[in-house]
Amino acid sequence: MKKLNIKMIIRSIIVFVGFFLSSYLQYIPVILFKLDISKIRNNIGMQVLLSCFSSFVFMIILLIIYNKDLKREFKTYISNFSKNFDTGFKWYLVGLLIMMISNLFLYYVLSSGGAINENTVQKMIKSSPILMAIDACIIGPFNEEIIFRKSLYDIFKKNKYIFIILSFLLFGGAHVFSTAKTLTDYLYIIPYGALGGVFAISYSKTNTVFTSMIMHILHNSVLLILSCLIYF
């Protein structure tokens, strides 16, 4: 059992670090096709394409690494689909409420102007809606649920409170720290982290990452559809 736990910890650390380094996979097509990096910096569509490529490659890597676990947890999800979906949806609504309230507070009370990360995503959707649909509604939720839920759960399943708190902080931080410039920007860890926290709760209650993954996919899909309705 101790050997298994050590292996799981090492695996989780490797994939977690790999997630934050996965953007370097974008250099594969850049090098192969001798693309001009200076032009890419001014081409949002190309940035979306390269981002989608690196996310897809990393997803394949995760599928290979977690193949057995995913098969087992998918069976767990399907075997009690109604209860698992209901649990995921109820906790998602809780997270969505917290997210909406905190976003409204940050925007209207603190005059934040909106999360920088979200503003960037909106520009990418406007530029390449189809690629963003694939990346944000399928690949992204899969990768993030494996990294911020599955990898953490494997280590902290016996202490669910630590699992939930870390999922809240790391998931929220991953969406904020790379773009935040002011203290108010950093506070956006709360609305992003709220979803990460409730996704972790639903996972811990059902023992299958697909509970949180399905809710994550639905959440991103609804937001993308709303964005497309606004822009197109």
How confident is the model at residue 1, as a pLDDT? 44
Instruction: Using the predicted structure, report yes or no on whether residue 36 has a pLDDT greater than 50.
Output: yes
Residue 229: the pLDDT is: 86
Q: Check if the beta carbon of residue 84 is closer than 8 Å to that of residue 210.
A: yes
- Looking at per-residue confidence, does 82 or 41 come out higher? 82
pLDDT of res. 194: 97
Q: Is the pLDDT of residue 79 over 80?
A: yes
Please tell me the predicted confidence (pLDDT) of residue 116: 78
Domain limits for position 60: 2-231
The average pLDDT across 197-201 equals: 98
Q: Give the distance from CA 176 to its chain's centroid.
A: 12
Residue 4 pLDDT level (bands cut at 50, 70, 90) = low
Please tell me the total count of domains within the chain.
1
pLDDT for 159 equals 92
Dist. CA 200–CA 22, nearest whole Å: 23
- pLDDT tens across 162-187, in order? 999 999 999 999 999 988 888 899 99
**Span of 109-123, 166-180, 206-220 with lowest mean pLDDT:** 109-123
Q: What is the mean pLDDT of residues 21-38?
A: 93
Who's near 189: CB < 8 A, 6+ residues apart?
Answer: 169, 172, 173, 175, 176
Buried b (16+ CB within 10 A) or exposed e, 169-205: ebbbbbbbeeebeeeebebbbbbbbbbbbbbbbbbbb
The whole-number pLDDT of residue 2 equals: 47
